[in-house]
Structure 1
Amino acid sequence: MADKPPPAPAPAMKPKPKPSAVPAVAAPGAPPRTTPSLKKPPPLAPPTQARPLKPPPAHQYRQQQQQQQPEGRKRRYRSHRGGCSGRRVCCLATGFVLLALCLALAAACLAYLYYHPRPPSFHLQPLTTTRFRVGNSSAVSAMDVTVAVKVVSWNPNDRVSFEYGDGEGRVALADADGDIALGWAPVGGFRHGARSVAAVGFVAAAKGVVVDEAVAARVRDRYRRRQLAFKVVVDTHVGARAGAVRTGMVPVRLLCDGGGMAPRGGVSGTVVGPMSKCQVYLFRVRWFSLN
């Protein structure tokens, strides 16, 4: 079959002619059409400026200053017045305290000059052993001791008396290897009048006190020769009274070293042999000694 010939090309399209701008013609008899003209906006007014204030007259300025000054002065005066009042109160309080201290010191000095108080003195009488036994057991040595103690006090004051409360007394046997406690006993209180002698006594007992054999031998030897040495400690409270004035009770300690034995046949309560002086410690402290 024979090939077909190619189709013929299409004819080119001619461009359409553009319509020419023809001015519009008004219709006959119609009024001519006019274009309204735009109005020009009015010009902006310049911004208004505040007029400067005129300065007040001189007399008005002076009046204003005079009105303001008293208020400031009053405030300053009030604050200054408050500070002065606080300082004044502090000064008055300090002055009253100092005055009270001076008056108290003056009263104490006058009372000391008038009463002239002196501490009482204490002496320990020789101790009486109502029972003294040292066991000879080979296993252990034990002591049974009963000791009567009496302390004599002398009040040298003419207008001052002392009051002693209930206390406690302890007795120990002095030895080179250490003191041997022999028991304690309660001590009753008493009143010690002016220019008078008072005595206080108690009985201490110890049973079954275990000691070394060497100590037991020394104690037996000293007992036969009546050379035992004792130490007595009494803890109590004391207060002073001068006329209508009375002080509070304070703790006191009575320490008596070097107490000896009464000779054979001595009766408890009688002075047989020299007495040993006792030390008095206020508040039970050694560096507060009264004698």
Structure 2
Amino acid sequence: MADKPPPATKPKPKPSAATADGQARTTTSLKKPPLAPPPQVRPPLKPPPAHQYRQQQQGGHPRKRRYRNHRGGGCSGRRVCCLASGFVLLALCLALAAACLAYLYYHPRPPSFHLQPVSATRFRIGNSSAASALDVTVAVKVVSWNPNDKVSFEYGDGDGRVALADSDGDVALGWAPVAGFHHGARSVAAVGFDAAAKGVVVDDAVAARVRDRYRRRQLAFNVAVDTHVGARAGALRTGMVPVRLLCDGGAMAPRGAASGSVAGPMSKCQVYLFRVRWLSLN
């Protein structure tokens, strides 16, 4: 069988000149690079200031360096406060220890005070149609006993007040200055003053009771003394602090008794140091 001849290939048609020109334009438009943005003009760089350059050369960033300095100042301030607090606490501990040793060595005890019977050197009740009035002069004497062997007391100038005790209220009889004095160890000291009141108006009922009690020598007096006291033990000496004596229920001296003499039972006085009652630790 005879071989068949291969089929004849058709020749490709040649593109026309217009088509070729259009393809060339398309290829050229696709391959054309995009337009570059215009160059931006940058200002010339300025050198840093001289002080900033020195700070960077010395310690790095200025903010960090300032922060470190601030922390260092705070630490030193806290250290000073801690040292000062420690010294204060140490001083307080030493003072407390010295006070305890002084108390154990000297063993101080508070003095006792007693009010002697009050003598009325002048006592008169005036009667009138308007009201009754008192004209009274009394002599007051307070005796103190210091039981300490090595501790003495120093009392400053003060003032004393006297009142007549009554169920309807105390009747003030005036006040008088009280002189200061030194109270040595293991000794007895006395301080006295005279108080006078004139024209003290009272009710008729009070005047009647006072007149009756005066005739029977049963009047009661309340005495208060305000002064300052300081203690001394050897080379140690304290400052002056306020003290108040309250002597309630003082008796009246009998007739004929000399002024300031002991002629009856004495009443005990309460001592208030800084307005706090003075207690014995024995």
What's the TM-score once normalised by structure 2's chain length? Answer: 0.72
- Which residue pairs with 1:61 in the alignment? none
Q: 1:212 to 1:90 in 2, by over 3 A?
A: closer
Q: 1:213 to 1:71 in 2, by over 3 A?
A: closer
- Which residue pairs with 1:211 in the alignment? 202
Write the distance in 2 (CA, Å) between the matches of 1:208 and 1:157: 45
- Which residue pairs with 2:153 in the alignment? 162
- Which residue pairs with 1:289 in the alignment? 277
Name the SS of the counterpart of 2:211 in structure 1: helix
Name the SS of the counterpart of 1:269 in structure 2: coil
- Paired residue type of 2:113: F
Which structure's CA Rg is the greater one? 1
Over aligned residue pairs, what C-alpha RMSD do you find? 2.7
1:102 aligns with 2:90: no
Pairs within 5 Å for 1:10-159: 85-159=76-150
Structure 2 residue runs of 5 or longer lacking an equivalent are 1-37, 40-55
1:224 aligns with 2:215: yes
Q: How many residues align?
A: 225
Report Cα offsets for 1:244-286 as digits up to 9, x if no partner. 2222111111111000101111111221111101111123x2x
What's the TM-score once normalised by structure 1's chain length? Answer: 0.69
Report Cα offsets for 1:181-202 as digits up to 9, x if no partner. 1111111010111111100000
Query: What is the CA distance between 1:137 and its match in structure 2?
Result: 2.9
Q: 1:103 to 1:133 in 2, by over 3 A?
A: same
Name the SS of the counterpart of 2:269 in structure 1: strand
- Which residue pairs with 1:271 in the alignment? 262
Q: 1:144 to 1:109 in 2, by over 3 A?
A: same
Structure with bigger helix share is 2
Write the distance in 2 (CA, Å) between the matches of 1:248 and 1:202: 25
Q: 1:88 to 1:200 in 2, by over 3 A?
A: same
Structure 1 residue runs of 5 or longer lacking an equivalent are 1-46, 49-67
State the identity as a percent.
83
